[in-house]
Amino acid sequence: MEDEIEKLKKENELLKKINENKSDTISITAHQLRTSLSVLKWIFRMFISEDVGKLTNKQNELAQKAYTSSERMLALVNDLLTLSYTEDASISYNLEKIDILHLVEQTIFEFSEETNKKGINLTFLRPDTQTPMVNCDENMIRVVLQNLIENAIKYSNEGGQVFVSIKQKESDLQISVHDSGIGIKDEDKNSIFKKFFRAENALEKDNIGSGLGLFTTKSIIEKHNGRIWFENTPEDGTTFLFSLPIY
Ligand code: ADP
């Protein structure tokens, strides 16, 4: 019996090692890809803005296509990197008491350029009462907010409205991101948090996306012992909500 246990322990250690090596390989490759793709994107941008000389219409059209393609690949690589980080069992979260209000404000500010470009009104409905601090990994919760706000903007029409709000619900803090966008169809409801899933209406709306954002977001929230879900208002967009326990 003891021999068996010893054997299983050894096998377990070996599997852990293999898994760690796999995560390292993904992360090193993704970092290298990201650097090269950023350079490509920057070069295509220079062509499009004719910083390196005048282009014919055809050349400009091709440079635009190459730019969009490099942008799409870069988004995929970034999502893969975050995913491999969240799935890496050897990385433990750096939990500390944070002021989530401040984090929401910072994140909203980062989207100013995007919302201006799309004419979207992104508003933070600040709570009237004091919000308790929550125990979480600030960088990881920033990723969650970025993913949800990015989607709310991406899947909204020009001139749309996005509201972020926070409220305390018993021993949880509940954060919601509401948009007036394309909504989620009934037939897609059970697939939204699955790896690589992208709904038909999302593909039509924006062809840049990996289908990894919500999967990663859910796994981050669950690692904080929280919950994430969405409510769909027909004709009136979607609200994604997540709750974090207040310890
Ligand atoms: P991506 O946005 O890269 O496609 P995500 O994992 O972030 O991937 O989202 C998965 C899918 O969930 C999207 O492709 C889309 O179909 C749907 N989705 C996410 N957020 C929204 C939203 N705010 N409104 C409508 N659909 C959404």
Q: Say yes or no: 175 and 229 in one domain.
A: yes
Q: Say yes or no: 173 and 126 in one domain.
A: yes
Going from the first residue of the chain to its last (247 residues), give the mean pLDDT of each consecutive group of 10, the final group possibly shorter: 86 82 78 90 94 94 94 89 82 90 95 94 94 93 96 94 95 96 94 95 88 94 96 87 93
Mutate to test the pocket of ligand 1, among 74, 147, 151 (most ligand atoms within 8 A of CB): 151
CB half-sphere exposure, 85, CA atoms < 13 A:
16
Mutate to test the pocket of ligand 1, among 214, 215, 231, 233 (most ligand atoms within 8 A of CB): 214
Per-residue confidence (pLDDT) for residue 234, from 0 to 100: 67
CATH number, position 116: 3.30.565.10
What is the DSSP secondary structure assignment for residue 99, as one 8-state letter? Answer: -
Atom of ligand 1 lying closest to residue 182 CA: 25
Ligand 1 centroid distance, CA of 95 (Å):
28
What span, in angstroms and rounded, lies between the C-alpha atoms of 210 and 208? 7
DSSP per residue, 34-66: HHHHHHHHHHHHHHHTTTTS---HHHHHHHHHH
Residue 241: its H or E element:
strand 238-245
Per-residue confidence (pLDDT) for residue 28, from 0 to 100: 83
Q: Which amino acid residue places its CA nearest to atom 11 of ligand 1?
A: 198
Q: Say yes or no: 204 and 127 in one domain.
A: yes
Ligand 1 centroid distance, CA of 202 (Å):
7
Q: Which amino acid residue places its CA nearest to atom 23 of ligand 1?
A: 152
Q: Say yes or no: 83 and 125 in one domain.
A: no
Q: Say yes or no: 42 and 133 in one domain.
A: no
Q: Say yes or no: 79 and 105 in one domain.
A: no
Q: Say yes or no: 12 and 102 in one domain.
A: no
Ligand 1 centroid distance, CA of 223 (Å):
21
Per-residue pLDDT of 39-53, as tens digits, reads 999 999 999 999 999
Q: Say yes or no: 64 and 6 in one domain.
A: yes
Ligand 1 centroid distance, CA of 247 (Å):
31
Give the pairing of strands 121-125 and 161-169.
Answer: parallel
Atom of ligand 1 lying closest to residue 181 CA: 24
User: Taking CB atoms and a 6 Å cutoff, what residues make up the pocket around ligand 1?
Assistant: 147, 151-152, 155, 179, 181-184, 192, 197-199, 202, 209-215, 238
Domain range for residue 228? Answer: 96-245
Task: Single out the residue of 187, 178, 175 nearest to residue 220, CA to CA.
Answer: 175
Q: Say yes or no: 61 and 161 in one domain.
A: no
Q: Which amino acid residue places its CA nearest to atom 2 of ligand 1?
A: 209
Q: Say yes or no: 199 and 110 in one domain.
A: yes
Ligand 1 centroid distance, CA of 115 (Å):
18
What span, in angstroms and rounded, lies between the C-alpha atoms of 41 and 48? 11
Task: Single out the residue of 16, 38, 32 nearest to residue 81, CA to CA.
Answer: 32
Six-digit token string for 124: 């933070």
Per-residue confidence (pLDDT) for residue 7, from 0 to 100: 87
Tell me how many domains the chain contains: 2
Ligand 1 centroid distance, CA of 4 (Å):
47
Per-residue confidence (pLDDT) for residue 155, from 0 to 100: 95
Q: Say yes or no: 83 and 139 in one domain.
A: no
Atom of ligand 1 lying closest to residue 192 CA: 12
Per-residue confidence (pLDDT) for residue 87, from 0 to 100: 81
What span, in angstroms and rounded, lies between the C-alpha atoms of 50 and 57? 12
